[in-house]
Amino acid sequence: MVEDRLAVERVLAGQKDAYEVIVRKYQARAYRAALGWVGNGEDALDLSQDAFVKAFRALGRYDRARPFFAWFYVILRNTCFNFLRRCRRERTVSLDLVPEGAAATEDEAKRAELKRRVWRAIAALPGPIREVMVLKYFDELSYREIAEAAGCPIGTVMSRLYYGRKKLRQELEGYHRG
């Protein structure tokens, strides 16, 4: 967090290149969070970059007492929401969770089907629960980090994870037994 604060101060002092430190540190996390929302790798890449550009322009409003990613995540999430609304495909995103291509084996075909089912189950969750699931499954954040990003207590994070996983379990019931 100290490193982030120093980088932000340098950027605000006019050293645009200092922003690279922040971007490189969080680019993978930003991409994965965006992927969790839109389900498409190319769009996730574009949207995460959009969010970094917006964050740069809003850097003057960033509260340096807060973790940078928690603040940035709100911008990223809103960017993804606007994109989904424009495309009107929140429930019918093109799945790109793994590279396209014919499955070489039955095992690969089963894995591909599993990924589709996991994505559909997560995409069908209510917003606040989906958000926590995305941050856990796609970004692998800790409970504290999720609570900061989502703006809710840690206990709420755990309750939402419980509900989300229970729904996921129901969706994948057939896969467990199969």
Partner 1 sequence: MDRSHDRYKQLLMALLDGELAPGERSELEAHLAGCRECRDELAGFRRLKEVTDMVRFAEPDDASWESYWRVIYNRLERGLGWILLSLGAILLLAYGAFRLVEELLTDPTVALLVKVGVGALLLGLVILVVSLVRERLYGLRSDRYSREVRR
Footprint on this chain of partner 1 (rule: CB under 8 A):
16-17, 19-20, 23-24, 27-28, 31-32, 35, 41, 45, 49, 52-53, 56, 58, 61, 74-75, 78, 81-82, 85, 96-99, 111, 114-115, 118, 136-138, 142-143, 151, 155, 158-159, 161-162, 165, 168-169, 172, 175-176
Residue in 170, 78, 80 with CA at minimum distance from that of residue 125: 170
Residue with smaller CB distance to partner 1, 91 or 176: 176
Query: How far, in Å, CA of 21 to CA of 44, rounded?
Result: 20
Written as six digits, the tokens of 76 are: 């990223």
Residue in 174, 163, 104 with CA at minimum distance from that of residue 128: 163
Question: Minimum CB separation from partner 1 for residue 115, in Å?
Answer: 5
Question: Minimum CB separation from partner 1 for residue 2, in Å?
Answer: 21
Question: Minimum CB separation from partner 1 for residue 68, in Å?
Answer: 13
Written as six digits, the tokens of 96 are: 């790109």
Please, is 177 exposed, middle or buried when counting C-beta atoms within 10 Å of its C-beta (0-12, 13-18, 19+)?
Answer: exposed
Question: Minimum CB separation from partner 1 for residue 160, in Å?
Answer: 9
Contacts of 56 (CB under 8 A, 6+ apart): 11, 19
Question: Minimum CB separation from partner 1 for residue 146, in Å?
Answer: 10
